[in-house]
Structure 1
Amino acid sequence: MNIKRTLKILAVLLLLGFGVAGCSFGKTSPESRASMIQSVNPAPGATNDLEEKDLKLAAKVKKDIAELDEIFDVAVIAGKKDTLVAYKVKHMKRFGMKRIEKEINKKLEKNYPGENFIVSSDFKIFIETVELRERMKDPTYPDKKAEEELQRIISLKKEMT
């Protein structure tokens, strides 16, 4: 009887250990982990930091999108061809996701004709964008690698649709 009880306790402890081990965050940055529960307000960025107009565009887009009442947090990175706009919607406003995305696209097309925007409310895309922005803060992170990573995130977004 005592052996059965010991085996049950050991089995529960093993399962608990495996469960906790599976919850590790992997290679996420502290800021991207924080973005899961709060607004991190990442600074806008451009894959080519020397291109002042790209940085200004990203800052203006971030400001415009953040003004919308339904938006909780915005991350913007301007690339060579595309500008990625990832955003989080306030919890109680999530029922109108389609309307919000249409409103954002309309606003971007109206205010920035000729620019190519990739817009996403997907949480994974938001986290990937925040992580890329964190890596781009390092002055040794190459612009070419940043552009490649941006294109990978954009292709991930396109796969989801």
Structure 2
Amino acid sequence: MRKILLTYFLVMVTFLCACNNDGPKGSGIALVKTTNPAPLSFERNTKKEMDLVKSIEQDVEGFKELYDVSVLKGEKDILVAYKVRHLHRYHMKDIEKRMNKKLEEKYPDENFIVSSDYKIFLEAVELEDNLKDPNFSQEKAEKKLQEIIKMKKELT
């Protein structure tokens, strides 16, 4: 009887510890469900920049294979991170190739970094969450964006 109670107690403790909810609030659920993060430019007051970023997001969301898109515009680079629907994951290289082609044709003056990697997507969503904080400086945001881009280049 004691062994059964001890086993039950250990199982309950394990479940309670596993259900711990520590971690980032906004970006923690980004892998599980659609977050639809708003497109952001680090130059917060520029209407032209925001229109450009929103236009890019609408173009990318036009791909039926995608279900969540994050667009971040830094000083020189534009990061486009997205999630691919499960049934289309076998065609990820083709999707990325078509997306790059479409974005380069429509916006030839911009430098795009396109990624379907979940880690890159999570980092982009976390950066967007940080940008909502008024104390998070534009320099920190640009530095974080460059780290994400460096991570993307290391993955390829």
For Structure 1 versus Structure 2, the TM-score category normalised by the shorter chain is 0.7 to 0.9
Deviation at 1:118, TM superposition (A): 0.4
- Which shifted more, 51-60 or 35-44? 51-60
* TM-score, length basis structure 2: 0.86
The residue that corresponds to 1:28 in the other structure is 24
The aligned runs of 1:77-92 (5 Å cut-off) are: 77-92=72-87
Match of 2:10 in 1: 13
Give a deviation string over 1:62-112, Cα, whole Å, max 9, x none. Answer: 010001110111000000010000000111111111110001100111110
Pick one of 137, 140, 149 that aligns with 1:154.
149
- Equivalent runs, 1:1-161 vs 2, <5 Å: 5=3, 9=7, 13=10, 17=13, 21=17, 26-29=22-25, 31-161=26-156
Shift >6 Å, 4+ stretches? none
Counterpart amino acid of residue 28 in structure 2: R
Aligned pair count?
156
What amino acid is the match of 2:23? K
Deviation at 1:140, TM superposition (A): 2.5
Task: Give the C-alpha shift of residue 32 in structure 1.
Answer: 1.6
Q: Which runs of 5+ in 2 are unaligned?
A: none
Structure-1-length-normalised TM-score:
0.84
Q: Which amino acid aligns with 2:83?
A: K
- TM superposition shift of 1:153: 1.0
Are the counterparts in 2 of residues 105 and 119 from structure 1 also a CA contact under 8 Å? yes
Change beyond 3 A, Cα 1:24–1:146: farther
Give the superposed CA RMSD: 2.3
How far is the alpha carbon of 1:27 from its aligned partner?
3.5
Q: What is the identity percentage for the equivalent residue pairs of Structure 1 and Structure 2?
A: 43
